[in-house]
Amino acid sequence: MKNYFVYAIIFSVIFFGKSFPQNSFHTQSNILIFADHLFCEKDFLRAIDEYLRIENKGDSTKLKLAFSYQKINNFDASSFQFLELKNTSVADIASLNFYKSSYLAENFVSLINNFENENFISEKYFSFISKLYLTARIKANHNIDKNFDFGAFEKSEQETVSVLVKRQLNPKYKSETMAGVLSTLIPGLGKIYTQNYGDGITSLIVTGLLTYLSVNNFDHNHQFKGWIFAGLSSYFYLGNIYGSVASAQIFNANYNRVTQEEIDKFIYENNYFLPKEADWNCK
Amino acid sequence: MKIFTIFFILIFLSGNEFLFAQDELNNQFQKAEKLFKEEKYFDAITEFKRVIFFDSENKYDYESYYKIALSYRAGNKLSEAIRYFSLAEQSAQTRDEILNAKFEIVKLNILRRTTSSALNLLDKIESEFPEKQNDVINWRGWAFIFKDDWESAANEFNKIDSLKWIADFCKNIENSKYSVRFAKIISYFLPGAGQFYSGNYLSGFLSLGWTGLWTYLTVNSFVEKRIFDSVMIGNFLWLRFYNGNIQNAEKFAIAENQKISNNALEYLQNNFKGKKP
Amino acid sequence: MKIYFFSILFCLIHFNVFPQTEFEKWEGKKISYVLNENSTSSELNFDAENIPELFLKSLTNLYWFFISDVDGDNCPFSPTCSAFLIGSIEETNVIKGALMFADRFTRDINFFDKANAYPFVTRGKFFDPPQNYTLNRESIKVFESGKFLFLE
């Protein structure tokens, strides 16, 4: 009889205890469930808040936290969180995303250094990471020479890579000095050299016309007008030399832009050399 | 027998847990509401999402979605607000709730100035809920106001006696606006006239002065048989300033109308007491 | 029935496609009924560091006030040629700015192939900021030409 009472008290304490805290939605386990739900809903900013409230995070939780940081473009935090997962059960996927975070943050130098010092490289995904590393080197134009080894890439990728390497190794720049000198010799020639044909011809016409007007006025003894046109002519002549140098610079900047965009396109189309994205148990 | 009693007590206690769950849900909802009232909209959304997630009976779905949408709206994130109002509409239980959500979506479309979708939605509401015709007319009027079509707005408001005031207001605004076409046409005949009409006297004088000067010079050269000079001045100077004068007449009239509209909108936002988006 | 099916389908697709839109926490923000107004005349400014700069700026301001605002919308560039002059003087100095302006003026009267040489911004204006012509490689920012550019 007494035993029954004891059982009853124990059971009731258990049952009460279960629901007694002010709000059971905020227990550790429920926070985790809710955080995972937010993660699956792709509300990463709020998922981060919830994950941070969990005191003893499991590896997969930490991984999701790091991944959420990456998704909201907070690459410093995501790199840090991925690095924390060294020597855990999810180290492989963390290592890959650690390198991806560095790439997305455009921290190419640290990415290259980490790889070369064999910092946190997953053996399972070595080939993927080395591709990411090589692309980062091409993108940052870091130590690229004739012997650049792109054996790590697949046959189908090698063609694109060799084009990109060539663009970085032997860029078809226009020389600024050359543009300046050409424009000094014949106004507008420097612009034609930098492929701004219309501007070059206009420049020649403008300077030519003003010089002609100046000479013509001097011939007719209009000293004042002559000097005015001479001044304008030399002003546009100097402006043309300046403009040719500037246009060579812009040509080169455009060349670099195209190179960078092609590298971005290449790596984006290959999904940053990540294997198929992990299934996060989302319904 | 006693064993049964104890089991009964245990079952009763475990049944209590269910009661507690409902209480908890209510607590959680109150917590979210409190954040919402404190204007901590970002956190309020998190808590409302928690309510929806743990609410296995979907009892709070409508209200939570509705409040999430209101929070997004308060943060001026209108397209997300629309997304959550449609979710609220889907989880609505009663006719009133459905209508409420629908009207909120209409209001957001009015604010975003996506007038055609607002009007489409209103047409649908009108056919489905004929009893709400007055509201539909009110919102249609507002949609026209935000489209800067004050005349249609006035016509719409005029259909209901209680909206007489705002109908007159819209009519007034419409009447106080400048006619862009008129400004342009009078500037064709007398450069600067359009600018005078919309109250930009300085620019009007300058336009008049320049075109006058170039007209004089063109005609003068022509009379003095310097045809080349005449053509050059007429083509490059007179025509340029004449065109500029017409462009300005249009530009200033549009700008003045914009100012009038904006003043009216500001007045309505701050002082109008009736239903507004 | 069909409508339900499609609305559910739409929701599913919508949820999957809906991108991450909140990158940082935000606070309440008042919605204004009012639309932004376009300015109808150039903003005159006389801030100058030295006499030549003041002289050129005054000249430009006079040009804006008496001519540019009255003779219609003629410049195909953004910023306009006169604003480019002001901008280049502010970026560099009077002499360099003047040279940059001569170059810009030549490019302006070029009637050959402008459309493919610059990206364009609102109202079909070619985007051509002075920062690209200061001969400082770091400040050059180029975009694909012939394409529309969304600037903040």
In the structure, what pLDDT confidence band is assigned to residue A11 with cuts at 50, 70 and 90? low
Closest among A229, A184, A238 to A209, alpha carbons compared: A229
Q: What pLDDT is stored for residue C12 in this prediction?
A: 40
DSSP C26-63: ----PPP-PPPPPP-SPPP----SSHHHHHHHHHHHHH
Supply the pLDDT for residue B22.
Answer: 75
Question: Which contiguous run of DSSP H or E holds residue B198?
Answer: none
Q: Kindly tell me if the per-residue pLDDT of C1 is higher than 50.
A: no
* More reliable by pLDDT, B56 or A38: A38
Q: Which of B177, B203, B232 is the last residue of a domain?
A: B177
Residues B169 and B148 in one domain: yes
Answer whether C29 sits within 8 Å of B75, measured CB to CB. Answer: yes
Is C140 in the A-facing interface, judged by CB distances under 8 Å? yes
- Give me the domain span that covers residue B213: 180-268
Cis status, amide bond into C79, omega within 30 of 0: yes
SS3 content of chain B, % helix, strand, coil (to 5): 85, 0, 15
Token readout for C9 is: 């389908």
Is pLDDT at A271 greater than 60 in this prediction? Answer: yes
Render pLDDT for C89-126 as a digit per residue (tens, 0 to 9): 989 989 999 999 999 999 999 888 787 889 988 878 89
The pLDDT assigned to C9 comes to: 42
- Subunits next to A (3 or more Cβ pairs <8 Å) are B, C
Domain count, chain B: 2
- Where helices occur in chain A by DSSP H, the ranges are 2-19, 28-40, 44-52, 59-71, 75-84, 91-104, 108-116, 126-140, 155-169, 176-185, 189-193, 197-219, 223-269
So what's the pLDDT on residue B12?
A: 53
Q: Is the pLDDT of residue B244 over 80?
A: yes
Q: Which of B151, B177, B203 is the last residue of a domain?
A: B177
Contacts 24+ apart (CB under 8 A), A129-135: A129/A95, A129/A96, A129/A99, A129/A273, A131/A157, A131/A270, A131/A273, A132/A99, A132/A100, A132/A103, A132/A267, A132/A272, A132/A273, A133/A99, A134/A161, A135/A103, A135/A161, A135/A263, A135/A266, A135/A267, A135/A273
Residues of chain C found within 8 Å of residue B269, distances taken between Cβ atoms: 32-34
- Chain A nearest-CA distance from B107, in A, is 26
User: Is B20's pLDDT higher than 70?
Assistant: no
pLDDT band for B15, please (50, 70, 90 cuts): very low
Please give the pLDDT value at position C15: 40
DSSP for C58-113, please give it.
HHHHHHIIIIITTS-S---EES-HHHHHHHHHHHS-HHHHHHHHHHHHHHHH--SS
Residue B76 has pLDDT above 70, yes or no: yes
- 3-state class (DSSP) for residue B147: coil
Q: Which of A23, A29, A44, A45 to mutate to test the interface with B (most CBs of B within 10 A)?
A: A23
Q: How many CB pairs under 8 A join A and C?
A: 97
The pLDDT of residue A165 = 92
CA distance B238 to B216: 10
List the single range of A160-164, A244-248, B82-86, C121-125 with lowest mean pLDDT: C121-125
- Max avg pLDDT among A84-98, A251-265, C21-35, C54-68: A251-265
Q: Among partner residues C20, C96, C102, which is closest to A236 by beta-carbon distance?
A: C102
C33 contacts in B (CB within 8 Å)? Answer: 111, 146, 265-266, 268-269
Residues B202 and B97 in one domain: no
Place of tokens 């320049």: B210
> Is residue A229's pLDDT more than 50?
yes
Q: Give residue B122's pLDDT.
A: 95
Q: Which of B122-126, B157-161, C38-42 has the lowest mean pLDDT?
A: C38-42
Q: Give the pLDDT score at B56.
A: 86
ipTM summary value? 0.81
Residue B257 pLDDT greater than 90, yes or no: yes
CA nearest neighbour of B241 among B205, B191, B185, B200: B191
Q: Select the residue of A203, A243, A253 nearest C140 (Cβ to Cβ).
A: A253
Nearest CA of chain C to the CA of B54: how many Å? 20
pLDDT grade for A145, boundaries at 50, 70 and 90: confident
Give the lowest-confidence range in A172-181, B21-30, B102-111, B260-269. B21-30
A71 interfaces chain B, CB cutoff of 8 Å: no
Least trusted range by pLDDT, from A76-85, B179-188, C17-26? C17-26
Judge if B115 and B44 occupy the same domain: yes
Average pLDDT rounded to a whole number, residues B87-92: 94
Q: Please say if the pLDDT value at position A7 is more than 90.
A: no
Residue B47, min C-alpha distance to chain A (Å)? 10
Enumerate the residues of chain C whose CB falls inside 8 A of the CB of residue B206.
66, 69-70
Task: Give residues with Cβ within 8 angstroms of B146, minimum separation 6.
Answer: B110, B111, B113, B115, B265, B277, C33
Could A45 and C106 be called an inter-chain contact, meaning their C-beta atoms sit closer than 8 Å? no
Across the interface, whether the CB atoms of A198 and C110 are under 8 A apart is answered yes
Helix (H) or strand (E) holding B277: none
Compute the distance between CA of residue C131 and CA of residue C87 in angstroms, rounded to an integer.
Answer: 8
Task: Let me know whether B26 and B86 are in one domain.
Answer: yes
Chain C CB within 8 Å of residue A197 CB: yes
- Using the 3D structure, point to which of B132, B158, B177 is the last residue of a domain: B177
pLDDT, tens digit (0-9, with 9 covering 90-100), for A18-42: 444 456 889 999 999 999 999 999 9
- C110 neighbourhood in chain A, CB within 8 Å: 198-199, 201-202
Which subunits sit against B, judged by 3+ Cβ pairs under 8 A? A, C
The pLDDT assigned to A24 comes to 82
Nearest-by-Cβ selection for C71 from B111, B240, B269:
B240
> Which residues of chain C are within 8 Å of residue A42 when distances are taken between CB atoms?
18-20
In this predicted structure, the answer to whether residue B1 has a pLDDT above a threshold of 90 is no
**Chain mean position to CA B175:** 22
The verdict on B255 touching C (C-beta cutoff 8 Å) is yes
Residue B236 domain-assigned? Answer: yes
Residues B121, B241, single domain; the answer is no
A3 interfacial to chain B (CB closer than 8 Å): no
pLDDT (tens digit per residue) in C27-77? 989 889 998 887 777 788 788 888 888 888 888 899 999 998 888 888 889
Tell whether domain A57-170 is in CATH 1.25.40: yes
- CB contacts of B83 in chain C (<8 Å) are 14, 18
Chain C interface residues facing chain B, Cβ-Cβ under 8 Å?
Answer: 7, 11, 14, 18, 21-22, 25-35, 37-38, 40-41, 66, 69-74
pLDDT at residue B177, as a whole number: 94
State residue A22's pLDDT score: 53
Whether A17 and chain B come into contact, CB under 8 Å, resolves to no
Out of B2, B13, B45, name the one closest to residue A4 (CB).
B2
CA distance B167 to A210: 65
Residue A54 has pLDDT above 70, yes or no: yes
Terminal CA-to-CA distance of chain B, rounded, Å? 66
How confident is the model at residue C114, as a pLDDT? Answer: 81
Optimal mutation site among C96, C142, C147, interface A, most CBs of chain A within 10 A: C142
- Which of A1, A20, A34 faces B53 most closely, judged by CB atoms? A34
The answer, for B235 touching chain C at a CB cutoff of 8 Å, is no
pLDDT of residue C56: 86
B40 and B57 both lie in a single domain: yes
**pLDDT above 70 coverage of chain A, percent:** 90
Considering the domain architecture, whether residues B122 and B208 belong to the same structural domain is answered as no
Residue C5 has pLDDT above 60, yes or no: no
More confident of the two residues B251 and C42? B251
